[in-house]
Structures are given as structure tokens and as C-alpha cells.
Amino acid sequence: MGFGVVSRCYFASLVPSQLSLFTPSKNHFLFTSLTTIINMTMMYISHDISVITETCDDIAIMYGGNLVEYTDTMTLFEKPLHPYTQALMGAFPSIKGEKTVLKSVPGEPPVLLDPPPGCRFHPRCPFANGGCKNATPEFREVEKGHWVSCSNIG
């Protein structure tokens, strides 16, 4: 686990080798306790969406080194807008409702030394059109407090 303290904000992340030592419930307890006790903002960086949901008020989704969606946790789960966020949600198992087949995101993550032109998600996006590989979508607020980088939204 790593912590970086910058002014009144700390950054936390877990590397895979530490996952066996820290269960999601321990992470949640540790992070929320630290945030409460020392009254600081925490930035938690992880692929574990269940811990993020329990721990964080707001969520920023990144793809290929770029921010693609940002909003509060409830809004993100109830109404994910970016196709990559939607794909992430579809790849995460739920303990509620009917059993469904998990969907994986097709293709490979971009090589950041030579990223795809335009929207970096376009080679894997089911909604990509001709314009997606020509222009980088602007990261903009499409609803109050809900920011997305996709030219097909809003």
C-alpha cells in the first residue's frame, strides 16, 4: 500500500502483491478511519470498483491516460455515460438480481507510447463512428456535476 501526503490530501493505492493482505473491508475501514481521524481528503487509485464505491464520494474514470468520466459515486453507478465506464460496469459481478454473463471489453488497452488518434477508446468502442478517430473529444460537463469525454454524448 502506498500513501502520499500533499498538503491536506493523501493518495492511497494497493499493488497486486498486497491484495492478499488487505481485504476490501479492511481497506474500507482503514481508509475511512484515516480520512475521519486526520480530516484530510483522500485520493484512492484502484481497479477494485467495490472498494471505490464503499470508500469514495466521487469517482473519476481514466482510460489510456486520460480522464473520461467524473461525477459522484451514486450518479456513476445509476447512470454511467461514457462507453468505457458502461463496459466496466458490465464486467463487474453483482450480488443482486438475476445471474448474468459478465462482458469483457474487447481488444487491448492502448500503447501509450503510440496511442490511437482521436478518442483513445475508439478501437474498442461499440459506438465509435468515423469522427471518433479524427478528433479528441472534449472533457465537458454534460449534466450538473457530471463530466464526460465522448463526442456522442450531450
Q: CB of 125 within 8 A of CB of 119?
A: yes
What single-letter DSSP state applies at residue 7? T
Among 83, 88, 105, 146, binds ligand SF4 (CB under 6 A): 83
29 close to 41: Cβ distance less than 8 angstroms: no
Q: Does 87 bind ligand SF4 (CB under 6 A)?
A: no
> Smallest Cα–Cα separation from 11: which of 48, 56, 54?
56
Count residues near ligand SF4 (CB under 6 A): 12
Nearest approach, Cβ of 89 to ligand SF4 (angstroms)?
A: 14
Quick one: cell of 5? 501526503
Among the listed residues 70, 71, 132, 146, the single contact to ligand SF4 using CB under 6 A? 132
Contact pick of 38, 107, 127, 134 for ligand SF4 (by CB under 6 A): 127
Residue 148 binds to ligand SF4 (criterion: CB under 6 A) = no
Q: In what order do the strands lie in the sheet with 9-13?
A: 2-6, 9-13, 41-45
Give the span between the Cα atoms of 40 and 33, in whole angstroms.
Answer: 11
Applying CB under 6 A, among 59, 61, 85, 122 the residue interacting with ligand SF4 is: 122
Site residues (CB under 6 A) for ligand SF4? Answer: 83, 119, 121-122, 125, 127-128, 132, 137, 150-152
